[in-house]
């Protein structure tokens, strides 16, 4: 079935991949994006008009949101301020953007609820806080340890609460560490794979917080897009699902993998500093989404990092990590 989909944050990393996939599947797509300078080099619409209608605006602006929702039957809400460390001192910005933006979007959805048939909201593994040592299922208690994680929990809970109350099928997808082409190389608060690649391309060893044995579930952006597509199509009750691979990889393993791929021969090791809000383990149990939506991860990390590295080599990157680390230290967020 062809849909008319609004993608908030649709010009961002995940959004750009999703928009292309939706267009190829025959859907009409409208993008709303504020083009935050920390993520985007320019505010130029990045899609040809035949691929997507692109509206430059803020999800916190009710009139802009109402305009974006005209004639739309599905919404994918990706728009958010991203980053654990930065959220711990830009508290108002993160809560205004993530919680306030979600509230404004939902007020618009409710005003258009006769047309809106499905809402998919991007949640995050960060809402669990510390995960189980092996795999973390959706039944794990939500104990967020950063302001960013708190706001992602709020985005999810606002969406599921209103979806159930008004009978609008709503799916919250808890993304685990997403990586892939188009991920910002200049943003020191983005995904760790892109941050490490940015440092390595500049001849610097990756900055590894803690002891490096923290484990994560690195998920290629194409698998995230797969999950969103399945959620848009599925006839399922409002619920939350993990989206990952179920494969455990340590931060130190990731750093060594990327160093080998980039022929970096310098020493690599942990900095010994611990960043406030960080967790030790969180790897996804994907049993629920596999059974309910038919999701199957297709891209292993060893294969997927090649996509990111090939793209990164063509871009050039500014290593902004040292400045970000200094900022955290100045604010007392490093131990």
Q: Quick one: 253 exposed, middle or buried, by C-beta within 10 A (0-12, 13-18, 19+)?
A: middle
CATH of the domain at 226: 3.40.50.720
Residue 331 lies in a domain: no
Number of domains in the chain: 2
In terms of domains, do 161 and 18 share one? yes
Task: Kindly report, residue by residue over 22-79, the tens digit of the pLDDT.
Answer: 999 999 999 999 998 777 666 566 677 789 999 999 999 999 999 999 999 999 999 9
Q: Quick one: 133 exposed, middle or buried, by C-beta within 10 A (0-12, 13-18, 19+)?
A: exposed
- Please answer whether residues 203 and 252 qualify as being in contact, where contact means their C-beta atoms are separated by less than 8 angstroms: no
Residue 251 lies in a domain: yes
In terms of domains, do 260 and 185 share one? yes
At 188 the pLDDT is 67
Structure-block tokens of residue 276: 């406030």
CATH of the domain at 294: 3.90.25.10
At 97 the pLDDT is 98
Residue 142 lies in a domain: yes
Structure-block tokens of residue 97: 């953007």
**In the chain, pLDDT over 90 holds for what percent of residues?**
73
29 contacts: CB under 8 Å, gap ≥ 6: 4, 5, 7, 10, 19, 22, 23, 51, 52, 53
In terms of domains, do 107 and 86 share one? yes
Cα-based angle 217, 222, 224 (whole degrees, multiple of 5): 55
In terms of domains, do 226 and 312 share one? no
In terms of domains, do 69 and 154 share one? yes
At 45 the pLDDT is 63
Residue 46 lies in a domain: yes
At 237 the pLDDT is 84
Paired with 74 in beta bridges are 5, 118
At 331 the pLDDT is 84
Residue 252 lies in a domain: yes
332 contacts: CB under 8 Å, gap ≥ 6: none
Residue 334 lies in a domain: no
Closest CA to 291 of 253, 236, 252: 236
Average the pLDDT over 110-126 and give the result. 96
State the catalytic residues: 148
In terms of domains, do 164 and 190 share one? no
In terms of domains, do 112 and 140 share one? yes
Residue 76 lies in a domain: yes
Owning domain of residue 100: 4-178+218-243
Please give the model's pTM, rounded to 2 decimal places: 0.94
At 323 the pLDDT is 75
DSSP structure class, residue 235: -
In terms of domains, do 9 and 19 share one? yes
In terms of domains, do 251 and 275 share one? yes
In terms of domains, do 204 and 250 share one? yes
Tell me the C-alpha distance between 285 and 136, whole Å.
5
Residue 326 lies in a domain: no
Average the pLDDT over 137-144 and give the result. 97
In terms of domains, do 95 and 197 share one? no
In terms of domains, do 290 and 224 share one? no
Tell me the C-alpha distance between 48 and 100, whole Å.
30
119 contacts: CB under 8 Å, gap ≥ 6: 74, 75, 76, 77, 109, 159, 163, 168, 169, 170, 171
């Amino acid at each position: 079935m062809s849909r008319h989909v609004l993608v908030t944050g649709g010009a961002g990393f995940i959004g750009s991949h999703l928009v292309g996939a939706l267009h190829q599947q025959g859907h009409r797509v409208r993008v709303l994006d504020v083009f935050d300078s920390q993520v985007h080099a320019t505010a130029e619409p990045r899609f040809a008009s035949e691929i997507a209608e692109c509206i430059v605006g803020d999800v916190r602006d009710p009139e802009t949101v109402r305009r974006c929702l005209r004639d739309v039957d599905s919404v994918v809400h990706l728009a958010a301020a991203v980053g654990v460390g930065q959220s711990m001192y830009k508290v108002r910005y993160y809560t205004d953007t993530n919680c306030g933006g979600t509230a404004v979007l939902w007020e618009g959805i409710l005003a258009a609820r006769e047309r809106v048939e499905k809402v998919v909201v991007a949640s995050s593994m960060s809402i669990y806080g510390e995960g189980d040592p092996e795999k973390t299922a959706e039944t794990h208690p939500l104990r967020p340890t950063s302001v960013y994680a708190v706001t992602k929990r709020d985005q999810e809970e606002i969406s599921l609460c209103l979806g159930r109350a008004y009978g609008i099928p709503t799916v919250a997808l808890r993304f685990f560490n997403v990586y892939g082409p188009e991920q910002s190389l200049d943003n020191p608060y983005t995904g760790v794979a892109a941050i490490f690649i940015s440092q390595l391309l500049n001849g610097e060893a990756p900055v590894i917080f803690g002891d490096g044995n923290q484990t994560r579930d690195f998920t290629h952006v194409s698998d995230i897009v797969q999950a969103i597509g399945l959620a848009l199509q599925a006839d399922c009750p409002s619920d939350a699902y993990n989206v990952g691979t179920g494969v455990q990889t340590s931060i130190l393993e990731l750093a060594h993998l990327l160093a080998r791929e980039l022929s970096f021969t310098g020493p690599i090791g942990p900095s010994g500093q611990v960043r406030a809000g960080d967790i030790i383990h969180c790897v996804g149990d994907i049993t629920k989404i596999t059974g309910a939506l038919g999701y199957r991860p297709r891209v292993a990390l060893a294969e997927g990092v090649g996509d990111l590295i090939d793209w990164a080599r063509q871009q050039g990157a500014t290593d902004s990590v040292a400045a970000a680390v200094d900022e955290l230290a100045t604010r007392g967020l490093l131990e």
